[in-house]
Structure 1
Amino acid sequence: MNLPANFDALPGLDLDDKGAPVFSEPWQARVFAMTLQAHQAGAFTWAEWTRALGAELAKPGTGTQDETGYYGHWLAAFEALLSDKGVAAKNVLQETQEAWDRAAKATPHGEPIELFGKTPGPKTTE
């Protein structure tokens, strides 16, 4: 995956000693990767992304240390930008989030989560 030249200038982005982003949960890495993929696919410019993330982080009561966390704000900015650009409707994003929540609560620990009757993610062959 190619990183934009100025990705490390994002506000609040935690980087390791090699300049790579640091994630504490797998979902954080996934939303980071989805953002980069959407940018590379032309869904939005990097300048649009940095403005969207900056606006989310600038909202009153938000910041990298609040209970939502940095990548919670990243996700909110990503969803808002996709909606604003007409890539995904807000109601579809909300319905998908609610479906994930229901599926996760109904799935026994250790089993794959099935969304809409299908296991999400890439198919694997054994």
Structure 2
Amino acid sequence: MTAPLDIQGPAAPPRSNGELVFAEPWESRAFGMAITLYEAGVFSWPQFQAALIARIARWESAPTEDAHWNYYRHWLGALEDVLAEGGAVPADEVTTRARTLAQRPTGYDHGHRH
């Protein structure tokens, strides 16, 4: 089962010459997690698309203090939403884990190896 990614519309991922574009390693990881969990049957693709569209719509209607657009922040938020909604991961656990990861130094897991 392959995720039916939108080519156009609000849920369409960034592309360049038809290829997916990731600015940071975490973006490709978030993308891969969502696809893998969908393929494992954890949630349906329409559920994920609806969550992603809702996240984007909320940002468009009331940008937060971080008004910088980042598609994959919305993608990751939508993934968190469907996992919490479906009971796969408790919402408070997602929040706790996100805070823990956010406290790590920049580049923590992307350092140069000697």
TM-score of Structure 1 vs Structure 2, range by shorter chain: 0.7 to 0.9
Q: Secondary structure at the match of 1:23?
A: coil
1:39 is displaced (CA, Å) by 0.3
Q: Secondary structure at the match of 1:96?
A: helix
User: Identity of counterpart residues, as a percentage?
Assistant: 28
Q: Write the letter of the residue equivalent to 1:86.
A: G
Matches of 2:57 and 2:35, distance apart in 1: 22
Per the alignment, residue 72 of structure 1 pairs with 73
When normalised by structure 2's length, the TM-score is 0.77
Do the aligned residues in 2 keep the contact of 1:28 with 1:71 (CA within 8 Å)? yes
Do the aligned residues in 2 keep the contact of 1:10 with 1:50 (CA within 8 Å)? no
How many residue pairs get aligned? The number is 105
1:88 is displaced (CA, Å) by 0.5
Is the radius of gyration larger for structure 1 or structure 2? 1
Matches of 1:110 and 1:6, distance apart in 2: 32
How far does the alpha carbon of each residue in 1:33-90 deviate from its partner, in whole angstroms, 9 at most, with x for none? 000001000011111111110111111224xxx3251111111111011100111111
When normalised by structure 1's length, the TM-score is 0.70
Q: CA RMSD in A?
A: 2.5
Do the aligned residues in 1 keep the contact of 2:38 with 2:45 (CA within 8 Å)? yes
Unaligned runs of 5+ in 1: 113-126
1:68–1:31 CA distance, 2 compared to 1 (3 A): same
Which protein has greater RCO, CA pairs closer than 8 Å, 6+ apart?
A: 2
Unaligned runs of 5+ in 2: none
